[in-house]
Structure 1
Amino acid sequence: MSAPSRNPTEPRPVTEGPRAQDPVTQDPGGQDPGGQDPATQDPTAQDPTAQDPPPTALFDRRTRDAAAERPFRGSGRTARRPNIVFILADDLGWGDLGCFGSLHNRTPSLDALASQGLRFTHGYATSATCSPTRLGLYTGRYPGRLTAGLEEPLGTRDEHHGIPADHPTLPSLLVDVGYRTAMIGKWHCGWLPWFSPLKAGFQTFYGNLDGAVDYFGHFDTSGQPDLWDGEEPVTEQGYYTEIIGRHAAAYIREAGDDPFYLQVNFTGAHWPWEGPDDEELSRHIADEPADTHEESLRRLFHADGGSLAKYGEMVAALDASIGEVLAALDAKGLRENTIVVFASDNGGERWAFMWPFVGEKGDLEEGGIRVPLIVRWPAVIDAGQVSDLPNATFDWTATLLDAAGATPDADHPLDGTSLLGWLTGTQGAPQRDLLWRTREQGAVRRGHYKLLVDRHGHSVWHNLFGTDGRPSYRLFDLSADGREKADVADQRPGLVAELKAVWRSFDEELLPYPDASAWDASADGASSRGASTSGRSTPGQSTLGRSTPGRSTTGGQCPGLPD
């Protein structure tokens, strides 16, 4: 195994006492029969060969385990210059972990992580698709401030679509205050020779550049090898999830005395649908004829593959590799003052479990943006806690910079909000709006209300009520209706008017989407763009609440694929 290379309005207060209803325990009618959320399950009680329990038994287990979790309270403790390990899963659904009530998957490592820290039931991705969420995490800003963030997901390979080398990022700002930085795994924020992790502040990189790779062949959506040590192509045998886990654990074992930020980006559980024992299936996929980029993309998309059982194998492999990373922290004696954040880049797709939400990857309904989120920091956060505080991926950019003593760049003000004061108990829960924007949808969450915007009149709601292609606005009370079925806009016209104004201001502040007619899923996977837009956003502090973006014209999948 080669060593990685190194390069020199009406906000509702969020309470933390008795918690609002959480959809995980609601029945399809929206009633809450069990009270609190399911707690972390005992990993020792999970038998991978056991059959799924009947629904009544599952409910009994959920309510029984809920007693093990306590509503979050700030500890009052602080710690200096923590190590940071941010683990990002790919296309993992909100309900895909045992500690989030999974019916199908066994995830003892992540369940244990939740029991040792803080589990968020209202954690959100910055976007409904992968590359915009990653841009939001690394920059701490709305993805729509960069040209690359307008592609959902990123497919154009040119000098305009990526994170500019002079744009401050989470890793570059941490380097400025003495941190060592590394990324292991998936990048998907621009291509060489213009963009790479090493050009964005990471000192070490070992992984892939594209949005998807085969788990054994490590070839990308164009059929080309896509495994890199720094900016040099390499080869390594093995299942990619396990490779990422091994390299991340090795980085921790080799850590010196300086604090470090390690970004671990798994491709699990993204297509193709290959488990650890499916090398022969990988060879079969590689042998399929693919003379064009579109054909290469379609074979990797694996539309005829997968099953709940296969997806469970992929999630189990992801969980085991995360366990290897966490074990390396323990072996090094670093658990106490290391912040571990685990999240998914967006909602799940195809085989993922998003119940009780509707929507999936690419959608701004809850199933497309609400994700499993766990944070462990023993020096500051007491174990076994749960919170219903709404927060998004790029809030953790601000939080981690704050914890490390790093100052954001004044010319690129963060859109995320630091949660450090709330975590330590020195400040209350932040009161702000969360916002998302995609080419087709928009959303604003304020307290327990969510405004959902259909931008172009293509939904069944437009067809039913005849809005003639004009944007429509629906309002949902997530505390009673996590499935977003009961539109209460007529009951709260004042709130709808406020949130519409917030949404319109937000939409106007970001870069405009290129004209829809300019989008062309061409043979090389790039989209021709017509008039170009600047990759740099206008400096100046946002006047909006804080927020997030999302959805693709191809249903959240890669360019060139059918809806």
Structure 2
Amino acid sequence: MTSHNSNIRPERSSGTPLSRRAFTAAVGATAATAAVGVQTAGPASAAPANGTTDTRERPFRAARGRHSRRPNILFILGDDLGWADLSSYGAPHIRTPHLDELARQGVRFTDAYSGSATCSPTRFSLYTGRYPGRTKGGLAEPIANKSAGLEPTHPTLASLLRGAGYATALIGKWHCGYLPDHSPTKSGWDEFFGNFGGALEYYSKLGLGGEYDLYEGDAEYKDLRYYTRILTERASEYVQRDHDRPWLLNLNFTTPHWPWIADGDTEASAEIVRRIKAGDPSALWHADGGSVEKYTEMVEDLDRSVGQVLKALKRSGQEEDTLVFFASDNGGERFSYNWPLSGNKSSLQEGGIRVPSVLRWPARVDGHQVSDVPVYSPDWTATLLELGGARPHPAYPLDGVSLAGYLLRDEAPKERDLFWRVRGERALRRGDWKYYRGKGGADQLFNLADDRREQADRAAAEPERLASLRASWERTDSGLLPYPTAS
């Protein structure tokens, strides 16, 4: 009998497409209550000492007599990281050995997407498991002032897992509303350390409005060191605690988001701070700064930082039972390497929403695998809730689907449409086919299996397929909140 997981296949050393091979890590039943309670696969081995990728296949072997508990969850987001910005995804000039090793130890997703094309709507989709357009705050693309946010009454990944017995923390970028009305601590996270806004200067912690934006809980916290160092230190401390229950840590780096300041660039930092204090509203955008080389330095620093947190997790003895997930919040920016995708952040072309995504859970999922199943942010919400033994609130049904059965029980992934909407653009993916309408207003149709770059428009050749996908998009859109009209 053919495995349903024929679209997960053993990994190779390059970032090029691979031949389809059977997924070998199908194991047991998923979590539904306080324990997962199934036999588990052994941990993936580390990379060889010479730094090359181990290409051996990992057939499943049950660890007889062992059971895995509900996992700790370490969910890591990079900020504006392009789909091919990791060397394991094809970047020829950026070295990311720690994230590459994480991919070797788990599953690398080639067709994973963010919930939207900019920062805060994607975070809404991840935290709620729903389309950003379900909530008023999710209509901001992205949130730029204090008029919108994630309502504390809305259930979240954190509040639902906390209700199921998890400790919860968010370290880093929140970007789902500002005090006094909105905060992670009002939306299910026991602890918060980080920034509320969409961007900040890495040393001074000054935000887009010139305000200081580093908080512990809901109180300002003074620390003028390089921000990525601070977040790495805090996250490492959290994962090494003596936890008495499973935990969720959302670790949201701002790297490599502008301004283009790497660790040690104190002169560039001082100049941006001077401009902010002089009232220049564009200072943080850093349109006159940055370079491919500086961006590379920032991405490689992000990689080292993730490596430090993973080392701390290993020292804590919790690595085996911790599900680690890494992704970007949307597509890349000015200096990102997105080839062969078209478009970037803010666009619903592939380069704006397709993101690098890696999952590792040594107790349950074998390493050296790659999946080309289309998935996106709300799916991970549904998946983590199922694995953590939490149920969605019946009044707030999820738009994502759980991937637990696909990853752990060799079930066929559910066939469904992936939907996106931003002002002036629309997109929907069904299988290999993508319907797209950009700001020019023309409906386009692409077969992504043959044309990831979205250059061969099949709309005229496939009118019935185009009409079906367009109708599906319009049905979903009709159930969402309308955008407010411009005043």
Judge same fold: TM > 0.5, yes or no. Answer: yes
Superposition deviation, residue 496 in structure 1: 1.0
Whole-Å Cα distance in 2 between the matches of residues 388 and 408 of structure 1?
Answer: 27
The answer (yes or no) to whether the contact 2:58–2:366 under 8 Å persists in 1 is no
Alpha-carbon deviation of 1:203? 0.4
Q: Are 2:201 and 1:214 aligned?
A: yes
Amino acid in the other structure paired with 1:501: A
Shift of 1:373: 0.1
In structure 2, which of residues 131, 135, 140 is the aligned counterpart of residue 146 of structure 1?
135
Amino acid at match of 2:472: V
1:252 deviates by 1.1
Residue 36 of structure 1: CA displacement? 7.8
2:307 pairs with 1:323: yes
How far apart, CA to CA, are the structure 2 residues paired with 1:69 and 1:369? 32
Among 348, 372, 380, the residue aligned to 1:364: 348
Indicate the residue corresponding to 1:529 in structure 2.
none
SS at match of 1:386: strand
Query: What per-residue deviation string (whole Å, max 9, x for no partner) do you get for residues 122-156 of structure 1?
Result: 01000000100001110010011111111111113
Aligned partner (choices 48, 71, 74) of residue 85 of structure 1: 74
Query: In the alignment, is residue 275 of structure 1 matched against residue 262 of structure 2?
Result: yes
What letter corresponds to residue 148 of structure 1 in structure 2?
G
Distance of aligned partners of 1:197 and 1:229 in 2 relative to their CA distance in 1, 3 Å threshold: same
Deviations 1:207-262 (A, max 9, x none): 00000011111110111110000000011131111111110010111242210000
Aligned to 1:8: none
Paired with 1:391 and 1:69, the residues of 2 have a C-alpha distance of: 26
- The letter for the 1-side match of 2:325 is V
Normalised by the size of structure 2, how large is the TM-score? 0.89
Structure 1 residues 117-516: aligned runs within 5 Å: 117-158=106-147, 161-288=148-275, 290-292=277-279, 295-296=280-281, 298-454=282-438, 458-459=439-440, 471-515=441-485
Q: Does 1:102 align with 2:102?
A: no
Deviation, structure 1 residue 312: 1.1
Query: 2:30 matched to which residue of 1?
Result: none
Deviation at 1:410, TM superposition (A): 0.2
Q: Which 10-residue stretch deviates more, 69-78 or 311-320?
A: 69-78
Deviations 1:502-527 (A, max 9, x none): 01111111110111x32xxxxxxxxx
Kindly state the Cα deviation for residue 68 of structure 1 after the two structures are TM-superposed: 2.2
Task: Name 1:9's counterpart in structure 2.
Answer: none
Shift of 1:79: 3.4
1:462-515 deviation digits (Å, cap 9, x = unpaired): xxxxxxxxx421100101111000111122222111111101111111110111
Cα distance in 1 between the residues matched to 2:115 and 2:155: 18
Distance in 2, Cα, partners of 1:75 & 1:443: 42
Tell me the CA shift for residue 14 of structure 1: 7.9
CA shift, 1:405, in A, is 0.5
- Partner residue, 2:35: none
The Cα of 1:425 is off from its aligned counterpart by 2.3
What SS is found at the alignment partner of 1:168? coil
SS in 1 for 2:325: strand
| Correspondence for 2:36 | none
Distance in 2 between residues matched to 1:321 and 1:165, nearest whole Å: 31
Deviation at 1:121, TM superposition (A): 0.4
Q: Residue 31 of structure 2 aligns with which residue?
A: none
What secondary structure is seen at the aligned counterpart in 2 of 1:173? helix
C-alpha distance in 1 between matches for 2:266 and 2:75 = 29
Q: Percent identity?
A: 47
Quick check: 1:73–1:425 contact (8 Å CA) kept in 2?
Answer: no
For structure 2, the 5+ residue unaligned runs are 22-44
1:115 aligned to which of 97, 104, 113: 104
Give, in angstroms, the shift of residue 88 of structure 1: 0.4
Q: Per-residue deviation at 1:45? A: 5.6
Distance (Å, rounded) in 1 between the aligned partners of 2:56 and 2:471 = 39
* Residues 78 and 353 of structure 1, relative CA distance in 2, 3 Å threshold: farther
